[in-house]
Structure 1
């Protein structure tokens, strides 16, 4: 058994399965996610404190279109099957894209479902996240990467009902520089360029019914997590940025889940340096039309 302090993981994504009394945690689990990709592992817990794993849930075969940068798996049950949205760097054009994998169980094995990435083939895109609108139609929020755009974008696109492909063109929701808390990201590969990063969009409804989005960027080159709210209640917005970050202690790429006791938690990784990344669960409170964190869960 492992504790959270024992688990190196980025982009943690927790799926509570109440009928089993177990939580499944996925994420970027290669020891060096910036290099060759091995696959994705999962961890399983009954109490969010001690975890079994790592348990391999995806390993590519020799025909898989990527062998580098396996990032940010998000897992959803739709009907009787389990779908994984994950980012990979393509062999044929060296660009990032989000693909969809499928399995019959939350522990896989996951196999390719979409024909390569469902993000635009000519774009470097990452961190696709599934969202079902009020009518049950599937959408994917994703990032058009800052290395290609300069000012990173969060976009949304309709998906086919079978989750195999995008339907129509994506829509720009906002750019990273629109948030008042972000600052330019200084990178040695792009000297003198004002880069603004978008990472990890994740949509969820607040207790008040408002549609929220978590997304990550940087403040003075330290990773941070922001919050936006849809004024229309629809994925297409318009999106209003919170004036201050939700979490700024060199961590981010967050998602929200509910414990079996009904408490809402925010999952992030921190710090943002490899190999020191660890999953952190933070309590959430909603008041006065906003959301804030107020301490770690199960560490008292």
Structure 2
């Protein structure tokens, strides 16, 4: 299989040095994997061009007593303490959350306010099977609609869970972080607000003057953290750029891959927003090194019927730059 043939939303790559094999994780697609159920599947490749048929590594139906069985969005797999940990987002629309108090734009959308969060599962193999650590609750704070949790380990060795707090609760979506216990089984302390989607100054610059846009949602999506060569900390994230307004005042826009930089090198920031790296309905990217040392960005495009897209990237100090679109690998001419 090649990338143009592979259904692929929210891609995440583990470059396994021992086997010299790239493992590309995404939500299970039964028509491709041949396995029914909500979960995670993995494609494998030696060269980023030719890929195996996917193997299913996680199914919610196999998790005894799990709090939700829908979703399985944005799977990531991280090596930690000699084992592999899968992070993926589940939800249950039949379990409403209490309506949060009014925020700066008034009360958010309570009719869509339901249980959603990231779970953490563990395996001794990149090929699973993965078993959820705490099936009775999400790893993200239970009172929040949270998604796209990722692992960050700071310079002291402290693991953090970084996640997006849904705009459905806040209207202005946020990125937040909370410390994890050494075995990743529970959080430790209160969440820390990192930034709001509206902190990106370019987000609304294309909206015509005089058009109100305060009530339009500001979306945070797909955090992934990467240490820059100068010691600063980069966060990839995605949002919807607001670039048009209809006659009724509604705002539309395209999905974009952007990033933020913490010059202090710490996850708590402060974070400075950068302009988008890739537009054209692209996003939810992550960085990995190829086996020949090239730093590579993978993301999906378009949002619907998504496929994986690859870019060579590099740093100029703390600034991440796109160097080349790898159309030779992803087939996007």
TM-score (norm 1): 0.90
- Which of 247, 254, 258 matches 1:226? 258
Q: 2:184 aligns with which of 153, 157, 163?
A: 163
> 2 CA distance for matches of 1:194 and 1:163?
35
CA shift at 1:215, angstroms? 0.5
* Cα distance in structure 2, aligned partners of 1:45 and 1:215: 26
Match of residue 234 from structure 2: 212
Structure 2 Cα separation of the partners of residues 180 and 95 of structure 1: 31
Query: Gaps spanning 5+ residues in structure 1: where?
Result: 185-190
- Counterpart-to-counterpart distance in 2, 1:133 and 1:63: 32
Residues 1-300 of structure 1: pairs in structure 2 closer than 5 A: 2-30=1-29, 38-60=38-60, 61=62, 63-90=65-92, 92-93=95-96, 94-115=114-135, 116-183=137-204, 193-220=215-242, 221-242=253-274, 244-273=275-304, 276-287=305-316, 289-297=318-326, 299=328
Q: Are the structure 2 counterparts of residues 68 and 211 from structure 1 closer, same or farther at C-alpha, using a change threshold of 3 Å?
A: same
Runs of 4+ in 1 over 4 A off after TM superposition: none
Structure 2 contact 12–24 (Cα < 8 Å) conserved:
yes
User: Is contact 2:86-2:122 (8 Å) kept?
Assistant: yes
C-alpha deviation, 1:37, in angstroms: 5.8
Gap change, CA 1:289 and 1:125, over 3 Å in 2: closer
**Cα gap change, 1:44 to 1:29, in 2 (>3 Å):** same
Q: In structure 2, how many angstroms separate the alpha carbons of the residues matched to 1:286 and 1:181?
A: 22
In the aligned structure 2, how far is the partner of 1:135 from the partner of 1:170?
Answer: 19
Note the C-alpha offset of 1:73. 0.7
Map of 2:209 onto structure 1: none
The alpha-carbon distance between structure 1 residues 295 and 138, as it changes in their structure 2 partners (threshold 3 A), is same
TM-score w.r.t. structure 2 length?
A: 0.82
Q: CA separation of 1:45/1:233 partners in 2, compared to 1, >3 Å: closer, same or farther?
A: same
Q: Is the 8 A contact 1:9 1:29 kept in 2?
A: no
SS at the partner of 1:249? Answer: coil
Distance 2:81 2:214 in 1: 49
> Unpaired segments of 5 or more residues in structure 2?
97-113, 206-212, 243-252
Judged with a 3 Å threshold, the aligned counterparts in structure 2 of structure 1 residues 209 and 149 are, in CA distance, closer, same or farther, namely same
Deviation, structure 1 residue 101: 0.5
Distance 1:239 1:104, change over 3 A: same
Aligned residue pair count: 288
Q: How many Å separate the matches in 2 of 1:65 and 1:117?
A: 8
CA gap 1:45/1:92 in 2 versus in 1, 3 angstroms = same
Distance in 1, matches of 2:318 and 2:124, equals 39
Structure exhibiting the larger radius of gyration computed from Cα positions: 2
1:192 Cα deviation from its structure 2 partner: 8.5
Answer with 111-120 or 7-16: which moved more. 111-120
For 1:41 and 1:4, the matched residues in 2 are separated by 15
8 Å contact from structure 1 (residues 37, 68) kept in 2: no
